[in-house]
Chain A
Amino acid sequence: MNTDVEELLREGMERFTYDLRAPAGIIRRAARQHCRRLMLRSAAGLAAALTAGAVALVAVQSPGAGDAGSEGPAITTAYVLGRVNRALSAAAPDIAQLQVSARGAMFAGKPATLSYVEWIYGDSGRAVTTSPAGRLIADNSVVAASSRWTATVVSYTAQTWARWVTEIPALRVPARTAPYSCQASTYPGPFAQIPWALPASRAPNPSAIHAVPSGPFLVPGTDSATVAADLRTAISCGTLTVVGRQRVDGVNAIKLRPRHSRAGLAALAQPVETVWVNARTYLPVRMTVGQQSQRWTADISWLRPTAGNLAKLTAPIPAGFRQVPVTQVVQAILTEIFGHSVRL
């Protein structure tokens, strides 16, 4: 084998790169970058000469200041990803609010578009799920405090609710045994944490409640703690590249997509398909996962952890709803989602 290592390495390099093609217009891009550097230099020189205006001038022209989408720095993929990484790092203490649309999710035995809103904040989180017709189905939350979770599940169809307290390890989502990685993973859906709050003998098969296509784990109760951390890992997987700009809900956004060779980088599974980041703040504002028929789309907002926003993490109990054992609430929710009776 030793004598073959050099040959195997060479073949490995071939496999890793064989269908890579240089992007069109590389000279134009290099020329633009060169011009920007010259502008930066002349700005810096001028700033040195003008003592009073120096600071302001360099601040306007230097990379990292202002809107990268309009002026100044060369917008290379590495630059954008570096800024996104830093923005996510700064946003780690914020609450991530995700408006999710899961096309191709199974509802009542048929593929449909399920939507839900999630708030995720470290080990705490909440998901409000609506049916394809827009009717409220369920509201479930887990709020972490002093190594315990207070879990609440509300069924809007049965008009029932349950609340219980558990040690955090007991409720952790088993499917998420490791932090988000570049490897493809299955997104457990908004109901993932429910079965593990039940006695083991009554817990349904986890795979039975996977309501959405594969995607990133953005669920509470996970080791990597925050959506920001997961997204940072996602962008660090090394395959995202800047492909252009789009407006997302009125925001000027930079679009990032994986671009990889079939032979080489395809071996590294790519869970995140497309990410749009705000061109001014560099925080992700939208991400999609999956194919045309099965697509998970999340519009992301970042909320400061004020008292008002933290209150969003707990599912409220609507007036007139009955408190029942947790199994009854979960049974009602799962029966509606599966479209047939589910006994726990």
Chain B
Amino acid sequence: MATERSMQELECFLAGRADHLLRTAVLLTGSREAGEDLLQSAVERLLRRWRRFEGDPEGYLRRTLCNLATDGYRRTGRWRQKALLLRSQLPQPRDATGDVDLRDALVRLLMQLPARQRAVLVLRYWEQLTDAETAVVLGCAEGTVKSAAARGLMRMRELADNWNDKNDTAAGHGAKGKRS
């Protein structure tokens, strides 16, 4: 018979892992407050079954975050998607290197991907899970994960290629002199 878990145990666990889980939630939703709400909802679900919970709470929370982010959760925040699209059109301040800008641009593009595709990329490249582990978290076939990741990365590569082309062109113009 499983022993009952105490609330202190949950607090200890969250003290160590809540920051990381919040970051995952923010990457899945695109904004801090939506990420906090998502994490809170996932913790609430864990809380319901905590006393008799068996297994890895982090895995459970990660799976819940992904499920909520890809299923009904987004339906409650359609207006947020518009905000994300708006953000993606914003000219961003340039950093010292083109790569830094590109990193930000890739994250903004990530926010525009379909929820499932985004979850795959977050799990693969943020959580650093394997295709098989990602498939278990999302409850789908490994092939589905591979194809979703490939499609997402293809868009990322297109962005990176365009980015480099633009930078090359800008560098060409820059050599002729700056306009005020």
A233 to B85, CA, bound (A): 12
A3 to B51, CA, bound (A): 46
B77 touching A261, Cβ below 8 Å: no
Decide yes or no whether B133 CB sits under 8 A from chain A: no
Known: A236-B80, A238-B84, A267-B104. A78 touches B37 (CB 8 A): yes
Decide yes or no whether B102 CB sits under 8 A from chain A: yes
- Residue among A4, A15, A78, A260 making CB contact with B76, cutoff 8 Å: A78
Chain B residues near A259 (CB-CB < 8 A) = 32-33
- Residue among A4, A37, A238 making CB contact with B83, cutoff 8 Å: A238
Decide yes or no whether B120 CB sits under 8 A from chain A: no
B164 touching A1, Cβ below 8 Å: yes
B side interface size, CB within 8 A: 58
B104 touching A78, Cβ below 8 Å: no
A31 to B86, CA, bound (A): 35
A side interface size, CB within 8 A: 52
A307 to B19, CA, bound (A): 54
Q: Which of A19-27, A161-169, A293-301 lies at the interface?
A: A19-27
Decide yes or no whether B67 CB sits under 8 A from chain A: no
A81 to B33, CA, bound (A): 10
- Contacting residues of chain B (75-118) with chain A, CB-CB under 8 angstroms: 76-77, 79-80, 82-84, 86-87, 90-93, 99-100, 102-107, 110
Instruction: Report the number of A-B residue pairs with Cβ-Cβ less than 8 Å.
Output: 165
Known: A27-B43, A29-B40. A8 touches B33 (CB 8 A): no
B18 touching A13, Cβ below 8 Å: no
- Residue among B22, B26, B77, B121 making CB contact with A9, cutoff 8 Å: B121
- Contacting residues of chain B (35-78) with chain A, CB-CB under 8 angstroms: 35-37, 39-41, 43-44, 47-48, 76-77
A77 touching B86, Cβ below 8 Å: no
Decide yes or no whether A224 CB sits under 8 A from chain B: no
B160 touching A20, Cβ below 8 Å: no
- Residue among A16, A76, A183 making CB contact with B26, cutoff 8 Å: A16
Chain A residues near B82 (CB-CB < 8 A) = 236
Decide yes or no whether A239 CB sits under 8 A from chain B: yes
Decide yes or no whether B122 CB sits under 8 A from chain A: yes
Chain A residues near B91 (CB-CB < 8 A) = 183
CB distance from A151 to the nearest CB of B (A): 32
A77 touching B36, Cβ below 8 Å: yes
Decide yes or no whether B119 CB sits under 8 A from chain A: no
CB closest residue in chain B, given A77: B33
A8 touching B23, Cβ below 8 Å: no
Decide yes or no whether B153 CB sits under 8 A from chain A: yes
Overall SS of chain A's interface: helix
B103 touching A11, Cβ below 8 Å: yes
Decide yes or no whether A17 CB sits under 8 A from chain B: yes
CB distance from B74 to the nearest CB of A (A): 11
A260 to B87, CA, bound (A): 15
Chain B residues near A267 (CB-CB < 8 A) = 92-93, 104
A238 touching B33, Cβ below 8 Å: yes
Chain A residues near B164 (CB-CB < 8 A) = 1
CB distance from B137 to the nearest CB of A (A): 17
Chain A residues near B31 (CB-CB < 8 A) = 238-239, 265
CB distance from A84 to the nearest CB of B (A): 10
* Chain B residues packing against A (C-beta within 8 Å): 7, 10-11, 14, 18-19, 21-23, 26-27, 30-37, 39-41, 43-44, 47-48, 76-77, 79-80, 82-84, 86-87, 90-93, 99-100, 102-107, 110, 121-122, 125-126, 153, 156-157, 160-161, 164
* Chain A residues packing against B (C-beta within 8 Å): 1-2, 4-6, 8-13, 15-17, 20-23, 26-27, 29-31, 33-34, 37, 76-79, 81-82, 85, 181-183, 233, 236-242, 259-261, 264-265, 267-269
Ordered nearest first, which 7 A-B pairs have the shortest CB separation? A12-B103, A22-B18, A238-B31, A17-B23, A77-B33, A236-B83, A30-B44
